[in-house]
Amino acid sequence: MARAIVKSRKAEGSIIIRIPKQVVEHERIQEGELLEIEARKAKKKDWFGAFKGIGPFTRKDELDSHELK
C-alpha cells in the first residue's frame, strides 16, 4: 500500500485531491478505476522554537561557510 500526504482544494463545490505520480505508478492506478480511499487529517508540523538556542550568524560563521575544503 502506497501512502502520501496531499493537500485538498475546492473545485466546483467539491473537495478534490490529486494522487501523486509515484502512488499512481506503485499501485498501477488507471483512469476510470474505482478506488477505496482512507482519509485522515495529517498532523501539522509546528516549527515554532525549532531553532531555539541558535544565536545570530557572526562574521566568522559567514567566513567558515565559504572556506574551501
More confident residue, 65 or 5: 5
Q: 13-22, 35-44, 50-59 — which one is most confidently predicted on average?
A: 13-22
Tell me the HSE value of 20 on the side-chain side, using a 13 A CA sphere. Answer: 9
d(CA 46, CA 54): 17
4 domain-assigned: yes
Query: Once rounded to an integer, what is the mean pLDDT over residues 27-38?
Result: 94
Tell me the HSE value of 11 on the side-chain side, using a 13 A CA sphere. Answer: 6
User: Based on the structure, what is the number of domains in the chain?
Assistant: 1
Confidence of residue 5 (pLDDT cuts 50, 70, 90): confident
Least-confidence region, from 20-24, 36-40, 53-57, 60-64: 60-64
In which domain, by residue range, is 23 found? 1-32
| Angle 62-47-40 from CA coordinates, rounded to 5° | 145
48 domain-assigned: no
